[in-house]
Structure 1
Amino acid sequence: MNEGSADRERGERAQRLWRDLSDRYERQGHPRHVAEGLAAEDVKAAFKKQAGDKRHLYTATLAARRRAEAIVGASDRLGSLLTDALEHAANSPNRRASVIGQQRALVRGFHHRIASLLKDHHRDLLGRTRNKAQLRSVVRELHGESTGDLPAIAIADSVRTAFEDLRLMFNEAGGLIGKLENWGLPHSHNQRAIRRAGFDAWAAEARGRIAWDKMPDRLTGRPVAEPGAMPPIEVQDAILRETFDNIVFGRERGTAVYGRSDGESLALRRSHERTLPFRSADDWIEYNRRFGSGDPFSTIIGHVHRMARDIAMIREFGPNPALGMDFRAQLAVSRAREMGDVNLARKIEGNAAHAKRMMTILNGSLVPAGPFQEAAALFMSTTRHVLTAAFLDRAVISAISDTNSMRLAATSMGMNPGNLIKRHVDLLKSGLSRDEALRAGWIADTLADPGLALARFQSEVPPAELAERLSSGVLRIQGLNHWTDTARIAFQMEMAGHFASQAGRKLADVDEPLRGLLRDKGIAQSEWAAFTDPATLFSAGNGATFASPIYWRQATDMPRAEADDLFLRLQAIVEEQTEFAVPTNSTWARAFVEGGMPPGSIGFELAKSGLMFKSFTLTFTTNQIRRMLALPTWPSRASYAANMAAGATVMGAIALQITDLVSGRDPSDMTTPEFWATAALKGGALGLLGDVAGSAERPFGGLPAYAAGPVLSAGQDAWGLIFGNALNLATGKETHFARDGVRALDRYAPGFDLPVLGAALDRMFSDQLLILLDPDAADAVERASRRKARDFWLPGEITPSRLPDFSKAVGG
């Protein structure tokens, strides 16, 4: 289009806009000449805002293109270029800060910023948010309402400052979020509740609670109403209708977006998030009660996590991450074609497809396709959470294998594994050590995200609230959250100590492999010197020093944007290595299993059932294989594999013996080959292959059942209990309702197999209930008691008959 045509089009668009705005102002009661003057001012503002927004986005997009060209041009790992950009691959030549590494770095850094909120209001064992009265005061303070509650004021100030810094980081990365004073909190809308209510009921509830004079017009950036006033009813209805449609029909089901169009960039989409400001805290709370999907605590945490993800995405791929990823893939394929390597080009295309599935998972944009799939997804997710509470009530024993992965990760970083294990033990038993860790900025992950421990074994879509509380509560009660938190904090503290041990050296003199990690994250000598400046090191009570990126970010006087960039690159190193030390879940592995299918579909639900309890095994196997293959020679790879397998076998042996004791059995004989083979499977020495080989030992055992997952096994048991016995009753055959019911209760009741408590419940409750309800069962219990010579707590007995015989462990 030539310049004259472009000018003519802009002029015609300005005239149409001026006429529409003039008519709107006239309907509001302004004389025609006043309405035309106001419309003219709005047209000027709209074109100025549009020009500024476009210039900002164009600059950010151009920078992203240049960065992509530089990355592709310098890469010698084109075949895994895109997945490496999303999730770190150990020891690969391209170790830039991954999207997930940056996201976790931001989340941890901002958890430190809002530590008082996390300490005072994290969930209790029953999944309830603590101190709700004070939390309501925090919401009021965030809406600019004075409460006089000093702790609430301090928390609100920290949250407000954190939100503002997230906004600034988002904009500097290429986003567009305007500044609003006392805007309160973002809002996650409950799509099901809004759809059930319908537009009229929803709009009636929302209309009077919205602060229309704080809502910016997406065209001009000016408020849609004068202070204290409301816009004309047709303007209200137009905005509310579009918002309603975006919630009910839009792709981003949890975010109300006024004025979003399909294909809009992430930079613009996030800018609309706050376009439904509420008049007061009480209006926000009441609306949230009816149409929200989270309490104030989860809303704050959710906003931090979403913004961290979006900042990381834009930093890596530009204002429109999906398009940025496509462009990078095209560049890589073009380079492969220039090299004449057809196989490499096909590998890049496959890697790009996998990366898109990973991005879909990270964005949380896999949503059910319709009401039926939504109901199915909710039911199946809830079922899996209940089964998790039933089958993972001894997961903390399996988590002992973390000691081996921590040892391997420490060794690969040049750290002392013994010091790491000692610090973990100190954190497990000492509140003082945890307080010092908190002061330095290391916040327990599960204070903010209680589902993190669950994600180690099962990555899920949201279930019914009660089921989520049940599953996470069982993991908290047995201590898995505490174990996971302290293990990850211990590793991060040791890494900070390792950084500090190199302070005072030039970057070229830093020990390997740390020097290589710093170099590949683009850390310059001046940045290393600033990071290890004695004035920014954290000093513990015993005189030990730590170079923690989190603590450094608050202590440094470096300009904010530069400090943020350096913090992200440094903390990403720590986060990526922590994931190898204490695995949680792998997006790379999940993308293979879930395959981009929508929740509620048959394929997705079968895949999720098959994946149950395998997240940890998949993540551990993926991490170790990728780390192993990154080593330079086959002998070094074989040595690493042998080291890993030996450590895993020892940890498996310890886990087996603990399992025996808490089950009321004497320790197993450790002098037999069979014991060590089982220990290798239990400890994960063979990774996923070992998990499959040991499937017959599982409560839903057998290889076919292992592949299908426990959901189908539970369905089969339920069918036998209900319909099988009913059919026997109808045909005059013997029924076993009582026996089958007690056994199902023992097997599927959440928390019935917790360490120590599980054996007591089996003997004192399940066995006694079975004997009471089914007289024939008494003989079976007695026969089982005679057969179990290793049991020091016999079936059917109220109390243990003797102490465990530890000599059995050595063949006694």
Structure 2
Amino acid sequence: MSIANCLTKLVAAQRITQKQADDALALHEGLQQRLYPAMGPASADAASALEAARVMMEAAKERKYAAAKQAIAYAQALDRMEKHPSGKTAGLHSLLVRDNLEGGEAMGSAIHIDGHSENVTKRLLGMMDGALKPYASRLAGLRQDTESVWNIARELFGDDTGDQAAKAAAAGWKKTTEYAVERAKRAGKVLSVLEDWRLPQYWDNKRVGQFSQSEFVNDLMSEFEAGNIKVMDKQGQGEAPRAAVGGIIANAYKDITLGKASNGASGGFSNQLRVFRFQNADSYIRMMRKYGIGDGGLHGTLIGHLSGMGREIATLEILGPNYESTFGKLLELARQDDAVRNRSLLAKAKRSLSMNSPAAVQRTWDSVTGKLGAVQSDLIAGIGGGMRNIQTAARLGSATIAALPGDSFTASLAANYNGIPATAVLARLVKDLTVNREGAEEVARMVNLTAESIIDHALGSKRFADEVVGQGLTGRVADTTMRLTGINVWTEGLKRAWAMEFNGFIARQADYAFDDLDPAFQGFLRRYGFSADQWEAIRVTPPLEADGARFFDVNGVADQQLADRLMSAIIDERKFAVIEPDARIRGAMSAGLQRGTFMGELVRSATQFKSFPMTFMMTHMMRSAIQDGMWNKVFAGTKLVGLMTIAGAVTAQMQSLIAGRDPQDMGSQKFWMQAAIRGGGFGMLGDLVYSSTTRGGDGLAAYAMGPGPGAIISATGDLMQAAAGNKEVSGKMLAQHLKAWTPGSSMWFAKIATDRILFDQIQTMIDPDYRNTFARYERRMKKDFGQGFWWRPGEALPTRGPDVGNAVGQ
């Protein structure tokens, strides 16, 4: 009796479904085609039937296990939603991103996908033990090893390259991906037994689209004819018949160019069989160089693949293997609860201000799962993203000046809130950035804290993830500019120093029972839902001894879930120390619209540079607002405003100096009002309070539209007025517009020289009345801010040093 007849009888007897029968028959036929060359027809039929039965049995077990995992995840998620003090919507949001209402103690757990993704990714990169570091870009992104990195691929295909660095990276990659696959399966992910996890494949639709379909088909057919690749039949789960190969390759070309192909760099796992299975490294390298990641993309692709794995593992472990369906059901329950709970306008306003509405939850989900990053139109995304990249390179060159005082104060606030001595954090930062950089990286690697710099260097600084878009030409210009300013080194160093001090503090607190803990640290545990019993399970973990100090070994915690929750909590608190947008803010800044759509790019351009103040509001300001009792709210708010006003004052004075002006008189009420606004992250808006334009030269309407569209609107308006005879095309106007689009024009260490030697000279050459123009500018700054110039506009060299006494009214 044939297997087809057997399956028909089993369906008739209702022992299996028709879908299961179809899958089994397709698998049998695919296996039979693979086995036929080595066996006779009868033997191949029997062998493939047995193998199909075994595979189907294993698949059935996996489906049962996945169903059980799904039921558990759904029940746990629903329980957290129902226990959240602010309702099911806030409870569901807390599963996706840090709960800004801090209801973790009531819910019993505060772990979420956004933070857990970073935690798991750090674990994966930590397992690589720094083996990918030799291939990261250097010299502020200007230099990268794009040749020997391919030796990793050769080693993974079994070639002996003699390259010890590549051997270490290949061994680390194999160990790490095997761990990731096993962990995904433990979470209920059903993966194809035929999947090849050796290396990610990334077929770039732009690169493929540069070539004709016939050239693509010819290249792949040549590789196939030479035995360098196998072409698989997804329907049959095996090798495709020779006659079907050409058609499969042609269809692959269409899928890739239309953006339908699944690329390993964008997702961590796939239970779909790959169409192309490379048999040797040379073939893989040839095709990836021409049609995929290009010459310099392998390092970023490997990091991106691990990051994708980390994100999916986190999603699986929190919402189960069928997470899309689960989220949809839970969101519907949240909407129903929100409709009942928030009927009044006041209640709706409150939940919208805290960004905990059902619509906000949907945006966060799309952000945390990567949907908002999926490009709908490469052309539209390229125009919008390129414009934002140029604006980043042109306008964020002095971000380090604001970050130094601002981050120092937020890191101190976050440290003290959790019981950590702020002076210890800043002392470690100085030490790590000066005399102990290598030692700091080694210790950080041991305690899962080193991966941040790896991710940042490979994919662009996370802190400016919404500003630096992609790794095209404009993306590289923006990324390199930001690195040259030193902002990446500062940010990475402070993140690491803060987390390491917290880690060391936990190791010291492990000597005490729950009731005897430092009150601030005990508050940290309660906020994130840790009980006294769970603390007992955590504190028995033997510490690590390194750099003359003890550190808590999160990898040594016996209970993996407890370890993950603790690490996720540390990451959450670190985001108070170094402000960076999370999935909630990224979703809001995009309005839930995808990249590559007209409205999506317009919204992203309008909200460019505005994620920092929003993040500040959702972290420090929200934490002050939810303190128990009015006195605690007032105390926390006053402390926050006071410290950040001082940070704003320092920033204002530093920005004056790098712009060639004397410090402002700190005895002025206007100065401290401006400092208070700057301290909250509203730097450009602060300028609008005291003048008709921002320091970028934009008015209020242009500011609302965003720097890119604003600059275009401003330039177009000037040209139209000039054409109508209502405005003269002056050197000042031209210099301002050029500066708005010149990468590196605002870099803090070169800003004043660039302004005076380049842009002022352009104005001088074109504007016949340039002396009066510069004089008017000096008078306005004197009138509005009481400042003179130590390097006067239009002068090739400074005439004197800064008048520091002006800061105290002398």
Which TM-score bucket, shorter chain as reference? 0.7 to 0.9
SS of aligned partner of 2:130 = helix
In structure 2, distance between residues paired with 1:686 and 1:634: 26
Match of 1:143?
Answer: 157
Equivalent position to 1:427, from 426, 432, 446:
432
2:543 is the counterpart of 1:540: no
SS of aligned partner of 1:539 = strand
Match of 2:396?
Answer: 392
Letter in 2 for 1:51: A
Equivalent position to 1:173, from 178, 187, 199:
187
Show CA shifts across 1:417-462 (max 9, x none).
2222332233333334634544544326233323877553561584
Instruction: Tell which deviates more after alignment, 35-44 or 572-581.
Output: 35-44
2:245 is the counterpart of 1:236: yes
Q: CA RMSD in A?
A: 3.9
Equivalent position to 1:790, from 788, 801, 808:
788
In structure 2, distance between residues paired with 1:507 and 1:642: 31
CA drift of 1:626 comes to: 2.8
**Aligned residue pairs, count:** 777
Letter in 1 for 2:130: S
2:651 is the counterpart of 1:655: yes
In structure 2, distance between residues paired with 1:270 and 1:186: 11
Return 5+ residue gaps in structure 1 as ranges. 226-230, 258-265
Give the conservation status (yes or no) of the 8 Å contact 1:700–1:706: no
Change (3 A) 1:650 1:23: closer
Change (3 A) 1:677 1:599: same
Output aligned runs, 1:255-654, within 5 Å.
255=264, 270-272=270-272, 276-293=276-293, 295-330=297-332, 343=343, 351-366=357-372, 373-399=377-403, 400-432=405-437, 434-435=440-441, 437-438=443-444, 440-441=446-447, 442-443=449-450, 445-450=452-457, 454-457=461-464, 459=466, 462-463=469-470, 465-518=472-525, 523=530, 528-529=535-536, 531-533=538-540, 536-541=542-547, 543-549=548-554, 553=555, 558=558, 562-563=559-560, 565-654=561-650
Give the conservation status (yes or no) of the 8 Å contact 1:26–1:32: no
Show CA shifts across 1:128-174 (max 9, x none).
56333331222211222111112221122112211111111111111
2:72 is the counterpart of 1:63: yes
Show CA shifts across 1:767-809 (max 9, x none).
3344345555356446656887711112222221111111111
Change (3 A) 1:12 1:750: closer
CA drift of 1:324 comes to: 1.3
Letter in 2 for 1:608: R
SS of aligned partner of 2:270 = helix
TM-score, normalised by the number of residues in structure 1:
0.85
Give the conservation status (yes or no) of the 8 Å contact 2:187–2:317: yes
Letter in 2 for 1:138: I
Give the conservation status (yes or no) of the 8 Å contact 1:617–1:691: no
Give the conservation status (yes or no) of the 8 Å contact 2:136–2:144: yes
Match of 2:3?
Answer: none
Give the conservation status (yes or no) of the 8 Å contact 1:89–1:627: no
Match of 2:4?
Answer: none
Output aligned runs, 1:696-711, within 5 Å.
696-711=693-708
CA drift of 1:762 comes to: 1.8
Give the conservation status (yes or no) of the 8 Å contact 1:141–1:152: yes
Match of 1:83?
Answer: 93
Change (3 A) 1:777 1:75: closer
Change (3 A) 1:631 1:44: same
Give the conservation status (yes or no) of the 8 Å contact 2:384–2:601: yes
Give the conservation status (yes or no) of the 8 Å contact 1:195–1:248: yes
Change (3 A) 1:458 1:172: closer
Instruction: Tell which deviates more after alignment, 381-390 or 346-355.
Output: 346-355
TM-score, normalised by the number of residues in structure 2:
0.85
In structure 1, distance between residues paired with 2:677 and 2:684: 9
In structure 2, distance between residues paired with 1:527 and 1:691: 50
In structure 1, distance between residues paired with 2:768 and 2:685: 43
CA drift of 1:249 comes to: 4.7
In structure 2, distance between residues paired with 1:735 and 1:336: 56
In structure 2, distance between residues paired with 1:275 and 1:803: 67
In structure 1, distance between residues paired with 2:135 and 2:27: 50
Change (3 A) 1:276 1:772: same
Change (3 A) 1:127 1:569: same
SS of aligned partner of 1:545 = strand
CA drift of 1:674 comes to: 0.8
Match of 1:262?
Answer: none
Letter in 2 for 1:547: F
Change (3 A) 1:272 1:19: closer
In structure 2, distance between residues paired with 1:545 and 1:256: 37
Give the conservation status (yes or no) of the 8 Å contact 2:113–2:311: yes
Give the conservation status (yes or no) of the 8 Å contact 1:496–1:546: yes
Output aligned runs, 1:108-119, within 5 Å.
108-119=122-133
Give the conservation status (yes or no) of the 8 Å contact 1:668–1:809: yes
Change (3 A) 1:630 1:692: farther
Match of 1:261?
Answer: none
SS of aligned partner of 1:277 = strand
Change (3 A) 1:793 1:199: same
Show CA shifts across 1:598-628 (max 9, x none).
3233322221122111111111111123322
Match of 1:263?
Answer: none
Give the conservation status (yes or no) of the 8 Å contact 1:46–1:219: no
Change (3 A) 1:273 1:794: farther
Return 5+ residue gaps in structure 2 as ranges. 1-9
CA drift of 1:474 comes to: 1.3
In structure 2, distance between residues paired with 1:796 and 1:241: 62
Give the conservation status (yes or no) of the 8 Å contact 1:652–1:683: yes
Output aligned runs, 1:123-142, within 5 Å.
123-125=137-139, 127-128=141-142, 130-142=144-156
Change (3 A) 1:567 1:186: same
Give the conservation status (yes or no) of the 8 Å contact 2:698–2:714: no
Match of 1:766?
Answer: 759
Letter in 1 for 2:284: W
Give the conservation status (yes or no) of the 8 Å contact 2:387–2:708: yes
Instruction: Tell which deviates more after alignment, 361-370 or 208-217.
Output: 208-217
Match of 2:800?
Answer: 802
Change (3 A) 1:736 1:145: same
Match of 1:92?
Answer: 103
In structure 2, distance between residues paired with 1:136 and 1:82: 43
Show CA shifts across 1:685-718 (max 9, x none).
8899869857943314332222111112221344
Match of 2:5?
Answer: none
In structure 1, distance between residues paired with 2:343 and 2:766: 67
Letter in 1 for 2:807: A
In structure 2, distance between residues paired with 1:10 and 1:757: 67
In structure 1, distance between residues paired with 2:163 and 2:647: 50
In structure 1, distance between residues paired with 2:12 and 2:531: 46
